[in-house]
Amino acid sequence: MSEQIDKQRAEITQYIESYTGRDGAVATAIPSLSFIRFSEVTGPVYGVYKPSLCIIVQGRKEVLLAQESYLYGPANYLVASVNLPIVGQVTEASPEVPYLALKLEFTPSEILEVLREYQMGVEKKESAKRGMYVSNLETSLLDAVARLARLLDTPKDIKVLAPLIRKEIIYRVLQGENGGLLKQIALEGSSTYQISDVIQHIMNNYAKSFKIEELAEIANMSVSSLHRHFKEVTAMSPIQFQKQLRLQEARSLLLSQSADAAEVGFRVGYESPSQFSREYSRMFGLPPIEDIKRTRDKYGQKVKA
């Protein structure tokens, strides 16, 4: 690594340590920017990644999307271009050298605004590609991120300058080696854009049953095309996607409330308590009550994906 990128990373490290002070994820005064710190490796942590940029300055992490593994550390960055249910696990961390990372969320409209403002051409509407990728970190991107973090020292500047630096960060990501994948999410009529509409529909209605024909109509695709493109973007089928959302929400409810497992199962869309328990066990390794007890005993409430 160059001396410049080491200096930038060291500066961001100081900000994360200063503004976290404890393990877990902490929202900052800059909209959509959060800092994450862990002083030990974690077990699997379940969550949904919104469209975002994730950068690690210390430690390493593995992110699972369905059966696919994405490993990254200080030399890389990870981008999620659509909402995706994932499993995250910090694989390298210690009290002496904690895992330190940041996440900056963005929206497709912000991407489109940057494409238009900077007149960045989109070659063509391409077939849907995976909605998550890891790229090599470049000095220009890390420099912009460091300047964004620096605004925490001057809160009065955040309202004016943060949106400008956010645009630059998105611009740098779009210019990166996999930027073309991100461009497609903002291109109306592209397969990725159409699938993102379906993803949003499932996110908003995960507890309800649906017919695949309804989703195909939302995407303006045939049923077979919907299946193919949806799996290309998310690495899973629409039903599998919905199931992950349901089970993750159920687990979140059980962790945050003293609720009956069967009742929570009904709330997230399951009609059969036995089916809920069976699918929950398959995903999390234990039936609901046993899993919640294990998780509370080991991690408390502090672990975030």
In a domain, 17, yes or no: yes
In a domain, 293, yes or no: yes
Q: Are residues 29 and 133 in the same domain?
A: yes
Q: Are residues 180 and 263 in the same domain?
A: no
In a domain, 85, yes or no: yes
Higher pLDDT among residues 163 and 184, named by residue: 163
Q: Are residues 47 and 132 in the same domain?
A: yes
Last residue of a domain, one of 159, 185, 211: 185
Give the mean model confidence (pLDDT) for residues 236-251: 96
Q: Are residues 266 and 153 in the same domain?
A: no
pLDDT at residue 127, as a whole number: 65
DSSP string, 157-203: GHHHHHHHHHHHHHHHHHHSTTHHHHHGGGSTTSHHHHHHHHHHHHH
Query: What's the length of the chain?
Result: 305
Last residue of a domain, one of 185, 208, 225: 185
Angle 212-213-217 from CA coordinates, rounded to 5°: 120
pLDDT at residue 190, as a whole number: 82
In a domain, 99, yes or no: yes
In a domain, 233, yes or no: no
The share of the chain scoring above pLDDT 70, in percent, equals 94
In a domain, 193, yes or no: no
Residue 282 and residue 243 in contact, taking contact as beta carbons nearer than 8 Å: no
Q: Are residues 126 and 251 in the same domain?
A: no
Residue 81 and residue 185 in contact, taking contact as beta carbons nearer than 8 Å: yes
What digits encode the pLDDT tens for the residues 111-134? 989 988 877 765 555 666 899 999
Q: Are residues 152 and 50 in the same domain?
A: yes
Classify 227 as helix, strand or coil: helix
Torsion sign, CA atoms 261, 264, 266, 268: negative
Banded model confidence at residue 189, pLDDT cuts 50, 70, 90: confident
* Residue 147: pLDDT over 90: yes
Q: Around Cβ 153, how many Cβ atoms within 10 Å?
A: 9
Give the mean model confidence (pLDDT) for residues 178-189: 82
pLDDT at residue 303, as a whole number: 47
* Residue 249: pLDDT over 70: yes
CA–CA separation, 179 and 34 (whole Å): 22
Q: Are residues 23 and 136 in the same domain?
A: yes
- β-bridge pairing 45-49 and 68-72: unpaired
CA distances from 272 to 65, 159, 262, 264 (A): 27, 49, 8, 11
In a domain, 176, yes or no: yes
CATH number at residue 279: 1.10.10
pLDDT at residue 42, as a whole number: 92
pLDDT at residue 84, as a whole number: 96
In a domain, 110, yes or no: yes
Q: Are residues 30 and 128 in the same domain?
A: yes
CATH number at residue 150: 2.60.120.280
Residue 11 and residue 19 in contact, taking contact as beta carbons nearer than 8 Å: no
Q: Are residues 15 and 88 in the same domain?
A: yes
pLDDT at residue 10, as a whole number: 94
Torsion sign, CA atoms 284, 285, 289, 295: negative
Q: Around Cβ 115, how many Cβ atoms within 10 Å?
A: 19
Q: Are residues 19 and 166 in the same domain?
A: yes
Task: Give the domain range for residue 32.
Answer: 3-185
Last residue of a domain, one of 161, 185, 209: 185
Banded model confidence at residue 172, pLDDT cuts 50, 70, 90: very high
What's the domain count of the chain? 2
Torsion sign, CA atoms 191, 129, 171, 99: positive
Q: Are residues 112 and 175 in the same domain?
A: yes
Q: Are residues 154 and 287 in the same domain?
A: no
